[in-house]
Structure 1
Amino acid sequence: MDFLFVVDPLASFKIHKDTTYVMMREAQRRGHAVHVCEPAQIFWLRGGRVSARSLPITLLPVDDLQAHASQHLPWWHEEEAREVALADFDAVLMRKDPPFDSEFFYTTHLLSQGEREGAKVFNHAAALREHPEKLDILEFPELIGPTLVTREPERIRAFHAEHGDIILKPLDGMGGMGIFRVGADGLNLGSIIETLNRHGGTSVMVQRYIPDIVHGDKRVLLIDGEVVPHALARIPQGSEIRGNMAVGGKAVAQPLSPRDSEIAARLGPILAGRGLLLVGLDIIGDCVTEINVTSPTGFQEITNQTGFDVAAMFVDALERRIER
């Protein structure tokens, strides 16, 4: 089969921890052809189909991913790029990292047109648009903690007065960017509101602080509705309140808790039914805090620590979807 991965520039990959890299590696191991393109290389011209200037690549053998990455050695061999209709691939995998900005949004519309022409896109383009990662939890209020989304500063102040210890974050952040904690003393609340809210111009998500964050912000992966049997707890280090690996959180794979399994069983079939082949649930304590659908990660960390081959589970599911 021929797989097209829509990705960030290959040179930016950190192959010792990149999830897309191990997806490609597992696909190639099974004999599938790997092609890549960046979102800017997808186009449509009247009279034709949505196409991409795609680059066929072969992943080179790498024994030590960490050492290989630290020495900036090449990890792929490329052939000549060519223009191919998305529908001519067996699968198109949208793996562009956030943020979900205007250009990401426009790319999903091109992918939707590709789907109308017969392309099989994962995650489905419409599902990417309809499931904003921070706001998606609003559909499942029984699974989340006290949460407010607003553009009105006075509502944020009232939420703080009620709950005392709160987390504020922008709706378009990633990797822990722009997250603030304000305790009962309200120190710097006004300044933080001004920074995030921009005098009422930008929506902010506010959540009651969950003390269980000290045990990790758990990433629970759903693959075609089925849960990966290990969570990846991202544990804040030092005085940091954020567990995101992008800001130095320690990643520890662990068995699912009964609550993790309960949440996965509730959300898995719903999200898979909407065309979301891969989903990353963020869970702190007993509460879902985000539902990640754009480019969920964590495959390598879970596999390296537990021996469970997450990439193999993913490609198994992808092959089944293609054959439907």
Structure 2
Amino acid sequence: MTNKIIAIQGNHPSKLNPRTDTSIFLAHEIQKKNYKIFYYDPKDLSIINFKVIAKGFFVKFDYRKKRFFKILKKQKLELTRCKYLLVRQDPPFNLEYICSTLILDKIKKRVKVINDPAAIRNVSEKLFSTKYQKFMPDTIFSQNIDEIRKFFKKHKKVIVKPINSYSGNNIYLLTKFNLKFFQKFIKKHNHIMCQKYLPKIKEGDKRVFLINGKVCGAISRIPKKGSFLSNLSKGAKPINIKLTNKEMKISKLISKDLKKDKIFFAGIDFIDEQLNGDINVTSPTGLKTFYDLSKINLASTFWRELKA
């Protein structure tokens, strides 16, 4: 019989913010069902004697306490003892990330891994959005200086971001082409994403939560004064909103596609009813914030849908 253990592959709890973190929110919810939470970092994942082993710790979360987590026991655990395993570490989507998915591939027939390791390897968060470019502002993915220069001539005001970053990091709003900047940026990030700037970002974006092929809710995130970044980690303010008919139609289409591609949990973002090109499948966030705004518990929905 499978133990009632949930493994979370993620960043150490001490690096997480309990007020907003989705991993903690998911773990706290399943604790109520008497599941034990085993936490480990991807670097502590190994294959030893044909077994997938993680060096980590059992942990308990409690929102009522200032120190919101308590490490109960440090140990090595054979991950096939777990009922579910959540891949929740932050990107970048680098070689270490890819290696961890290849290791988890070896046990996914015995442990339910969310999201499926092969699926998150194949669904590159930004490049996957090229499938939906008709719903997006004008966007290119390139490291060709001439193509980027032409894009600037066309649009003047452009958002520039790496393909494999996260949480609003290394994103720039540029009003003219700067050769030295792009030479340095491309050297560091290789292919990059350039997108026509949408002024209505000042009014906020919309983060949509997709669980098991269903559109389950959304919040808006309004950038702080003087910023164009809508990430909560960059100081944006969350508010409760509803999706427009157009946004709902696009969200349902993407959600069904992702379910076919074995993506159980994802987040997508809209600006001014246009998809911004981020299909978040590695460690989608926002469920705790959505609960605080709406009192709708999507962590409960997550586990119910997973068990179904």
Task: State the TM bucket, normalised to the shorter chain.
Answer: over 0.9
Q: Which residue of 2 aligns with 1:55?
A: 57
Match of 1:167 among 137, 142, 159: 159
Task: Note if contact 1:180-1:192 (Cα within 8 Å) is conserved in structure 2.
Answer: no
- Percent identical among aligned pairs is 24
Per-residue CA deviations over 1:44-68 (Å, capped at 9, x if unaligned) read 023x3212224222223x33xxxx5
Task: Note if contact 1:4-1:54 (Cα within 8 Å) is conserved in structure 2.
Answer: no
Give the distance between the partners of 2:43 and 2:190, measured in 1 at CA. Answer: 27
- Code of the residue aligned with 2:115 in structure 1: it is N
- Cα 1:166–1:316 change in 2 (3 A) is same
Correspondence list, 1:1-324, <5 A: 1-46=4-49, 48-60=50-62, 62-63=63-64, 68=65, 73-116=66-109, 118-183=110-175, 186=176, 189-198=178-187, 202-229=190-217, 231-289=218-276, 290-320=278-308
Q: What is the CA-CA distance between 1:312 and the residue it aligns to? A: 1.1
- Cα 1:75–1:237 change in 2 (3 A) is closer
TM-score, normalization by structure 1:
0.88
Give the distance between the partners of 1:191 and 1:282, measured in 2 at CA. Answer: 31
- Code of the residue aligned with 1:213 in structure 2: it is I
- Code of the residue aligned with 2:250 in structure 1: it is I
Give the distance between the partners of 1:257 and 1:291, measured in 2 at CA. Answer: 19
Q: What is the CA-CA distance between 1:250 and the residue it aligns to? A: 1.5
Q: Aligned to 1:44, what secondary structure does the other structure show? A: strand
- Code of the residue aligned with 1:255 in structure 2: it is K
Q: What is the CA-CA distance between 1:21 and the residue it aligns to? A: 0.6
Per-residue CA deviations over 1:78-132 (Å, capped at 9, x if unaligned) read 333333322221111111111222211111111111225x221100001111111
User: Which runs of 5 or more residues in structure 1 are unaligned?
Assistant: none
Give the distance between the partners of 2:76 and 2:167, measured in 1 at CA. Answer: 33
Q: Aligned to 2:73, what secondary structure does the other structure show? A: coil
Instruction: Count residues in correspondence.
Output: 304
Task: Note if contact 1:232-1:302 (Cα within 8 Å) is conserved in structure 2.
Answer: yes
Task: Note if contact 1:303-1:309 (Cα within 8 Å) is conserved in structure 2.
Answer: yes
What value does the CA root-mean-square deviation take over the aligned residues?
1.8
Task: Note if contact 2:159-2:197 (Cα within 8 Å) is conserved in structure 1.
Answer: yes
- Code of the residue aligned with 1:58 in structure 2: it is K
User: Which runs of 5 or more residues in structure 2 are unaligned?
Assistant: none
Which runs of structure 1 show a deviation greater than 3 angstroms over 4 or more consecutive aligned residues? none
TM-score, normalization by structure 2:
0.93
Q: Aligned to 2:43, what secondary structure does the other structure show? A: helix
Task: Note if contact 1:96-1:295 (Cα within 8 Å) is conserved in structure 2.
Answer: yes
Q: Specify which structure has the higher proportion of strand.
A: 2
